[in-house]
């Protein structure tokens, strides 16, 4: 039998993700790109890596939530429920604040206190990265993934906002 914590978290996630896209992302436009179309981007690009992410995990594109999947690709964060919570910690460290994020962190930390180190490390990784949570990655799909990771995640080049 599945862990009851996992069942509750999956139920909350499945129930909230489409609601989140509808309510909180109502102004955002879906990219309108299928996972098959992502695979047509050039070798080594963010677009192609996103296509691989969808196929490897057996996911379909969730309209208006494509940037979240880019976060997984850029940061090498997995998709287990604990890793999804860690992603929220990473985004918090990166400066993102939302009701959804805070709810996931609160509930996830309560259910998985043994993952404290994973969550803390993710927060630090987000804090040490360039602020990327507001980027519109649709415009960067043709860019080399390794370059984006060097700039945004590994902090090899500083980006100055005015």
Tens-place pLDDT, residues 118-161? 999 999 999 999 999 999 999 999 999 999 999 999 876 555 44
Query: What's the pTM?
Result: 0.85
Ranking 19-23, 72-76, 100-104, 120-124 by mean pLDDT, the lowest is 19-23
Q: Are 54 and 38 in contact (CB under 8 A)?
A: yes
Quickly list DSSP for 85-130.
HHHHHHHHHTT---HHHHHHHHHHHHH-GGGHHHHHHHHHHHHHS-
The three-state secondary structure class of 144 is strand
Ranking 3-17, 27-41, 124-138, 146-160 by mean pLDDT, the lowest is 3-17
Report DSSP state, residue 29: P
Task: Say whether pLDDT at 92 is over 50.
Answer: yes
Q: Name residues whose C-beta falls within 8 Å of residue 107's C-beta, 6 or more positions apart in sequence.
A: 9, 12
């Amino acid at each position: 039998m599945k862990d009851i914590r996992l069942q509750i978290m999956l139920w909350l996630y499945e129930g909230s993700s489409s609601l989140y896209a509808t309510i909180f992302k109502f102004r955002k436009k879906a990219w309108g790109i299928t996972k098959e179309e992502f695979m047509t981007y050039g070798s080594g690009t963010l677009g192609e890596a996103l296509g691989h992410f969808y196929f490897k995990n057996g996911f379909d594109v969730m309209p208006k939530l494509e940037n979240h999947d880019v976060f997984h690709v850029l940061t090498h964060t997995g998709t287990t429920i604990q890793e999804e919570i860690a992603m929220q910690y990473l985004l918090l460290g990166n400066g993102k604040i939302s009701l959804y994020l805070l709810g996931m962190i609160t509930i996830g930390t309560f259910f998985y206190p043994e993952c404290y180190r994973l969550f803390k490390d993710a927060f630090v990784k987000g804090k040490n990265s360039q602020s990327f949570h507001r980027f519109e990655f649709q415009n960067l799909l043709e860019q080399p993934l390794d370059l984006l990771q060097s700039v945004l995640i590994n902090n090899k080049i500083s980006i100055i906002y005015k």
